[in-house]
Chain A
Amino acid sequence: MIPFDFDYFRPKTLQEALQIFREQMAMGKKPYYFSGGTELITLGRVQLAKADAVIDLKKINEVRACRIDGDHIVLGSCLALTEVEESNLFPLLTKTASEIADHTSRNKITLGGNIRGGIHYREAVLPFLLADSTAVIVSAKGVTFKKMSEVFQGSLRLENDELLVQLITERKWASLPFVHVKRRRQWETGYPLVTVAALMSDNGIRVAVSGLCAFPFRSEKMENGLNSKGTGIEERIKMALDGIPATVLSDVEGSAEYRMFVLGNVLRDLVSELEGGIVV
């Protein structure tokens, strides 16, 4: 039950969406781009989110894209996570998406909604950080293409009226060996203690992490540590752990020390798996 009221718009084009957004802003209202909308509905119920005007994007073609385009995979921001999984254009993403929330909720939660979400896990971004994907963003100024590494700094750094339309990923990344591990406080359900996604590229292991700190990230320092050749595995893990870019969380899911313990083991396993079990 959402205890506030809002106007509801269902534009058919990006231009229309942007225009509504601008008009609402001009009227001093708080507009809200709505795809799955699960966060507005759930956080709104407990007074942690608010909107005066909801702009439902799901009727716009571009945000529903799900295709191979030459050497690129194009995924619209308003695809439900289950649609992303079923298309299976990017196997690592399929795996990452399939571990978010639960199956029925993923029929509603969208790719863009998860990445732009207020709940800090935003796990769907991990594969895109690893694959140097490009975010397609529109605003009043037109369409811009930005590297995910640039536009996603803990959260999606968009200007007020900017709208994430698509994510474009080179196909070569989709065929690389990968590992995705989600570890929870207990058993199979719930938020992560840590979620780790990794790809084996020509230049070594790429790794991105969610749940560990208050935001998801890919860390060059961690990767350098993990990839330092000629060093023993324990030393590599230690260097990787030293490269964690922010404070490790202690919360209801687990303490910081325990998260570090879990992450260490996850990294050991993924190195072993991606390097073919040959641990130097």
Chain B
Amino acid sequence: MRTVGSSVVRKEAWQKVTGTAKYTDDYAFAGLLHAKMVVSTMAHAIITSIDTTEAEKIPGVRAVLLGGSYPLVGEAIRDRPPIAVGKVRYHGEPVALVVADSPVLAKKAANSIQVLYEPLPVVNSATQAFEAGATLVHEKLGEYKRDNEIHPPIPGTNIASHVKIRKGDMEKGWQECDSVVEASVSLSISDHAAMETRCSIAEIGPDGKIKITTSSQAPFMVKRLISQYFGEDMGKIVVETPLVGGAFGGKAAVQLEILVYLASKAVGGRPVKLRNEREEDILTSPCHIGLDATVKLGSDRHGKIKAANIRFLWDGGAYSDKAVDLTRAGAADCTGPYAIDNVWCDSYCMYTNHPYASPFRGFSHSELSFAIERTMDLLAEKVGMDPLTFRKINAIMPGNTTPTRVLLNNSNVGNLPKCIERVHELIQWDEGEMIALDERFVRAKGISCSWKTSTIDPDAPSGVILTFNPDGTINLMSGVIEIGTGTKTVLAQLLAERLNMDVNNIYVKMDVDTQTTPEHWKTVASRGTFMAGKAVLQAAEDVIRQLKAIASCVLRAPIEDLDVADSRVFFRDDPGNGVHFKEIAYGYQYPNGNSIGGQIIGHGHYILRGLTHMNPETGEGRPGPEWTVTAHGIEVLFDRRDCTYKVLKAITVVDIGKVLNDKAARGQVMGAMSLGLSFAGRETFVFDSLGRVRNPQLRTYRPLHYSEAPEYMVEFVETPQIDAPYGARGVGEHGLLGIPAALANALSTAAGVSLQKLPLVPEMIWKAKEHVRP
């Protein structure tokens, strides 16, 4: 391998270290207007009045938008007014939108708008939402338009979706069990907290052309949804996305784009920018889903798990949007990476009066892992087995089936036992799970395993276009968004590898616009390398064919005698004899001036094959193409008196299939682990009894900082996925998945009490210990 595997520096690196990298808010121009939201201060309330008089008097205010005249929006269920109508359903919901000449004027005007509310009873958790007689977040649930006929909402309840898994024979399963445990775990809503807050710009031309620039993971979805929601012609909508300053799933949802489109429309199509302040990014824009789960697991006396009964109550917040898909994904992989023949799972998407959910890195899997892996430790203890051995015995393998009954083989699942073995060594498991240093301090270790497939739309596309420059270098265009993952650099590596050329002679277009860039469905779900990679390889074949065709004329030789490398086409048996790309990539000119060919333009596309919808009664179906598996280990230094701790080591071993860019892959895994530690250890929205978020700033909602990072150990197992580019599996999310669980397991061991809530702050550990104290 020439390029694949090496740590090629990301293509946009020098832009990013010189401040010249452009993100959406960096674009400004004369005539640009600025929008500002007024957001709800209540979680559930009737809007009794909105007074915009003062705002309208301010010179430079161009429009004030209120809800009422716009269609409902939402991806799975059209349940969300873009601007609240009649009542608000979460703290931070937009209730008005002001457009003005400058950001300061817009903010002044927004501040001057007086909104009066009459409070309603608040649904403050998923469990509360599920209770019989609970206050309804949506009274007219049955009347909403929707896309999901398979798992529809249940009118008269707060259930937006109910996904069932019914596999095997539960009665038989429980009969075979000698040990059974049941555990309830919960984690509250939190945030992505990408460093770039969301920002969108829209303008509408006199010809009806709608141009939207947005910090999004899904510009192609913006185009589709604006068309669907507002009846605009799809071809008239052009969505541009420059570099994106972190996303983690939070920018896969479509929200500001809708508001800014409406704002531009309200001012005759003039360009309008809407940028979230941090508080709005945390409160108003979609957040990281919460979960209340109950898991019952049973095993026989050899430690083989025989039955699992799982209930997930997802806190999808006030509007269902992507939470319905998160609920489905959680069900599809509900057991974690274990072979269990008898599985029953009910995964409910619950409406609450909380900010609504968008995907979060891992798409339900870090949350479900926390539930499963805590219960795994409890069951191992009950069986009297070492938790690592217990996991190894039950690890999912080729020949097993998933909860949705997909038969696994050597290609579509990685080698979990091998990952576990490596964690075993790296964390020095045999030294003991807990080592007392003195009366107060202990070192303790926890492990976990995880898996994930990508349950994206079965018809999700990805396309790539390659164009040549006259000097024989290549431009690569893909709809993948550069959100920080370095995927576009990896695509260039794949192309360089296939063409056996210098990766420096490949230029990558970083910005995406939906008119000229081929679609990549959404930059989510660790799909960039797999899908766009497949498209790149197909496009590479296309240009090789074209290059050889013209070279065969020039060299007067049959195509099959030719080969391609180092930006040349040459004779297989006489490599010194050939033509450089620069002589043929723009057509070839004979000495007398006659010319043939033309600019070589290659294309490739990919669509996932063989995915199926899940059966509404049994869950049977093929939700995703392959499963990446991981094992994690965490070592903490725990103070038994104070209940404080320091994370010493965090380990992830992931079966990546094939490492394409070593440093970039390590960076992805480490970064995901860091995000996992941060949300497991500290991050949560703190709701008051009225459902309001008390910590919507980065000084009270604190992501992990430099001095808080542990030592990271990242290792890779390479079991190729046969149909993936060079065997590489998706890996963008997997470093995160089992980290919260591993931390909880380590701390449960250290504290001597089962910790079943996130975040794992010392106060929570202290309370858990106090609770069990005799």
A binding-site residues for B, Cβ under 8 Å? 1-4, 45-47, 183, 185-191, 251-255, 258, 261-262, 265
What does the 1/0 interface line of B154-197 toward A look like (CB < 8 Å)? 00000000000000000000000000000000000000000000
Query: In the complex where A252-B695, A252-B700, A258-B766 touch, is A187 in contact with B107 (Cβ < 8 A)?
Result: no
Inter-subunit contact A252/B694 (CB<8 Å): yes
Taken together as a complex, chains A and B put the C-alpha atoms of A18 and B478 apart, in Å, by 63
Which residues in A have their C-beta under 8 angstroms from that of B699?
Answer: 190-191
Count of interface residues, chain B, beta-carbon cutoff 8 Å = 29
Inter-subunit contact A261/B761 (CB<8 Å): no
What does the 1/0 interface line of B649-689 toward A look like (CB < 8 Å)? 00000000000000000000000000000000110001000
Taken together as a complex, chains A and B put the C-alpha atoms of A45 and B278 apart, in Å, by 12
Other than the given A189-B707, A258-B766, 9 more pairs (CB < 8 A) read A3-B111, A4-B108, A185-B682, A186-B682, A186-B702, A187-B705, A190-B702, A258-B763, A258-B767
Query: In the complex where A3-B107, A3-B108 touch, is A265 in contact with B702 (Cβ < 8 A)?
Result: no
Inter-subunit contact B103/A185 (CB<8 Å): no
Inter-subunit contact A187/B682 (CB<8 Å): yes
Give min CB distance, A196 to chain B, whole Å: 14
Inter-subunit contact B686/A46 (CB<8 Å): no
Query: In the complex where A252-B686, A252-B700, A261-B766 touch, is A187 in contact with B108 (Cβ < 8 A)?
Result: no
Q: From DSSP, what is the main secondary structure of chain A's interface residues?
A: loop
Inter-subunit contact A46/B107 (CB<8 Å): no
B233 proximal to A (CB < 8 A): no
Give min CB distance, B603 to chain A, whole Å: 45
Query: In the complex where A1-B104, A3-B108, A265-B641 touch, is A46 in contact with B279 (Cβ < 8 A)?
Result: yes
Q: Can you list 18 contacts pairing A with B, beta carbon distance less than 8 Å?
A: A1-B277, A3-B104, A3-B107, A3-B111, A185-B763, A186-B702, A186-B759, A186-B761, A186-B762, A187-B681, A187-B704, A187-B708, A188-B708, A189-B702, A191-B699, A252-B700, A258-B763, A258-B767
What does the 1/0 interface line of B732-774 toward A look like (CB < 8 Å)? 0000000000000000000000000001011100110000000
Inter-subunit contact A191/B700 (CB<8 Å): yes
Taken together as a complex, chains A and B put the C-alpha atoms of A183 and B644 apart, in Å, by 10
Which residues in A have their C-beta under 8 angstroms from that of B686?
Answer: 252
B642 proximal to A (CB < 8 A): yes
Inter-subunit contact A189/B705 (CB<8 Å): yes
Give min CB distance, A256 to chain B, whole Å: 11
Which residues in A have their C-beta under 8 angstroms from that of B104?
Answer: 1-3
**Shortest beta-carbon contacts, A-B, top 7:** A3-B107, A258-B763, A252-B686, A186-B682, A187-B708, A189-B705, A252-B695
For chain B residues 216-253, which have a beta carbon within 8 Å of chain A?
A: none
Give min CB distance, B108 to chain A, whole Å: 5
Which residues in A have their C-beta under 8 angstroms from that of B681?
Answer: 186-187
Inter-subunit contact A185/B111 (CB<8 Å): no
Query: In the complex where A186-B762, A187-B708 touch, is A251 in contact with B103 (Cβ < 8 A)?
Result: no
Which residues in B have their C-beta under 8 angstroms from that of A258?
Answer: 763, 766-767
Which residues in A have their C-beta under 8 angstroms from that of B762?
Answer: 185-186
What is the chain A residue whose CB lies nearest that of B703? Answer: A189
What does the 1/0 interface line of B275-305 toward A look like (CB < 8 Å)? 0010100000000000000000000000000
Give min CB distance, B764 to chain A, whole Å: 9
Inter-subunit contact A262/B695 (CB<8 Å): no
Taken together as a complex, chains A and B put the C-alpha atoms of A188 and B681 apart, in Å, by 12
Give min CB distance, A43 to chain B, whole Å: 11
Inter-subunit contact A255/B763 (CB<8 Å): yes
What is the chain B residue whose CB lies nearest that of A254? Answer: B763
Which residues in B have their C-beta under 8 angstroms from that of A252?
Answer: 686, 694-695, 700
Which residues in A have their C-beta under 8 angstroms from that of B763?
Answer: 185, 254-255, 258
What does the 1/0 interface line of B308-348 toward A look like (CB < 8 Å)? 00000000000000000000000000000000000000000
Which residues in B have their C-beta under 8 angstroms from that of A191?
Answer: 699-700
Inter-subunit contact B705/A188 (CB<8 Å): yes
Contacting residue for A189 out of B646, B708, B767, CB 8 A: B708
Give min CB distance, A75 to chain B, whole Å: 26
Which residues in B have their C-beta under 8 angstroms from that of A183?
Answer: 644
What is the chain B residue whose CB lies nearest that of A5? Answer: B104
Which residues in A have their C-beta under 8 angstroms from that of B642?
Answer: 262, 265
Taken together as a complex, chains A and B put the C-alpha atoms of A252 and B683 apart, in Å, by 11
Which residues in A have their C-beta under 8 angstroms from that of B702?
Answer: 186, 189-190
Which residues in B have their C-beta under 8 angstroms from that of A47?
Answer: 111
Which of A2, A45, A258 has the most chain B CB within a 10 Å cutoff? A258
What is the chain B residue whose CB lies nearest that of A190? Answer: B702
Contacting residue for A185 out of B641, B646, B708, B761, CB 8 A: B761
Which residues in A have their C-beta under 8 angstroms from that of B111?
Answer: 3, 47
What is the chain B residue whose CB lies nearest that of A253? Answer: B700
What is the chain A residue whose CB lies nearest that of B704? Answer: A187
Taken together as a complex, chains A and B put the C-alpha atoms of A45 and B104 apart, in Å, by 10
What does the 1/0 interface line of B701-729 toward A look like (CB < 8 Å)? 01011011000000000000000000000
Which residues in A have their C-beta under 8 angstroms from that of B277?
Answer: 1, 45
Which residues in B have their C-beta under 8 angstroms from that of A254?
Answer: 763
Give min CB distance, A51 to chain B, whole Å: 15
Taken together as a complex, chains A and B put the C-alpha atoms of A197 and B641 apart, in Å, by 21
Taken together as a complex, chains A and B put the C-alpha atoms of A188 and B694 apart, in Å, by 21
Give min CB distance, B644 to chain A, whole Å: 8
Which residues in A have their C-beta under 8 angstroms from that of B761?
Answer: 185-186
What is the chain A residue whose CB lies nearest that of B695? Answer: A252
Taken together as a complex, chains A and B put the C-alpha atoms of A3 and B55 apart, in Å, by 13
Give min CB distance, B576 to chain A, whole Å: 59
Which residues in B have their C-beta under 8 angstroms from that of A46?
Answer: 279
Which residues in A have their C-beta under 8 angstroms from that of B705?
Answer: 187-189
Taken together as a complex, chains A and B put the C-alpha atoms of A146 and B107 apart, in Å, by 42
Inter-subunit contact A1/B708 (CB<8 Å): no
Which residues in B have their C-beta under 8 angstroms from that of A1?
Answer: 103-104, 107, 277
What is the chain B residue whose CB lies nearest that of A261? Answer: B766
Give min CB distance, A104 to chain B, whole Å: 12
Taken together as a complex, chains A and B put the C-alpha atoms of A234 and B642 apart, in Å, by 16
Which residues in B have their C-beta under 8 angstroms from that of A265?
Answer: 641-642
Which residues in A have their C-beta under 8 angstroms from that of B107?
Answer: 1, 3
Query: In the complex where A251-B694, A262-B642 touch, is A188 in contact with B700 (Cβ < 8 A)?
Result: no
Which residues in A have their C-beta under 8 angstroms from that of B694?
Answer: 251-252
Which residues in A have their C-beta under 8 angstroms from that of B646?
Answer: 187
Give min CB distance, A179 to chain B, whole Å: 16
Give min CB distance, A69 to chain B, whole Å: 36
Which of B279, B695, B700 has the most chain A CB within a 10 Å cutoff? B700
What is the chain B residue whose CB lies nearest that of A266? Answer: B642
What is the chain B residue whose CB lies nearest that of A119? Answer: B699
Taken together as a complex, chains A and B put the C-alpha atoms of A254 and B767 apart, in Å, by 11
What is the chain B residue whose CB lies nearest that of A251? Answer: B694
What is the chain B residue whose CB lies nearest that of A47? Answer: B111
Which residues in B have their C-beta under 8 angstroms from that of A4?
Answer: 108
Which residues in B have their C-beta under 8 angstroms from that of A3?
Answer: 104, 107-108, 111
What does the 1/0 interface line of B80-110 toward A look like (CB < 8 Å)? 0000000000000000000000011001100
Give min CB distance, B744 to chain A, whole Å: 14
Which of B277, B699, B759, B763 has the most chain A CB within a 10 Å cutoff? B763
Taken together as a complex, chains A and B put the C-alpha atoms of A101 and B111 apart, in Å, by 28
Taken together as a complex, chains A and B put the C-alpha atoms of A4 and B107 apart, in Å, by 9
Taken together as a complex, chains A and B put the C-alpha atoms of A105 and B412 apart, in Å, by 50
Taken together as a complex, chains A and B put the C-alpha atoms of A187 and B248 apart, in Å, by 23
What is the chain A residue whose CB lies nearest that of B761? Answer: A186
Give min CB distance, A95 to chain B, whole Å: 16
Give min CB distance, B280 to chain A, whole Å: 11
Which residues in A have their C-beta under 8 angstroms from that of B766?
Answer: 258, 261
Taken together as a complex, chains A and B put the C-alpha atoms of A188 and B708 apart, in Å, by 6
Which of A45, A47, A187, A251 has the most chain B CB within a 10 Å cutoff? A187
Taken together as a complex, chains A and B put the C-alpha atoms of A116 and B103 apart, in Å, by 30
Which residues in A have their C-beta under 8 angstroms from that of B704?
Answer: 187
What is the chain A residue whose CB lies nearest that of B110? Answer: A3
Give min CB distance, B509 to chain A, whole Å: 33
What is the chain A residue whose CB lies nearest that of B103? Answer: A1
Taken together as a complex, chains A and B put the C-alpha atoms of A258 and B681 apart, in Å, by 17
Taken together as a complex, chains A and B put the C-alpha atoms of A273 and B642 apart, in Å, by 17
What is the chain B residue whose CB lies nearest that of A3? Answer: B107
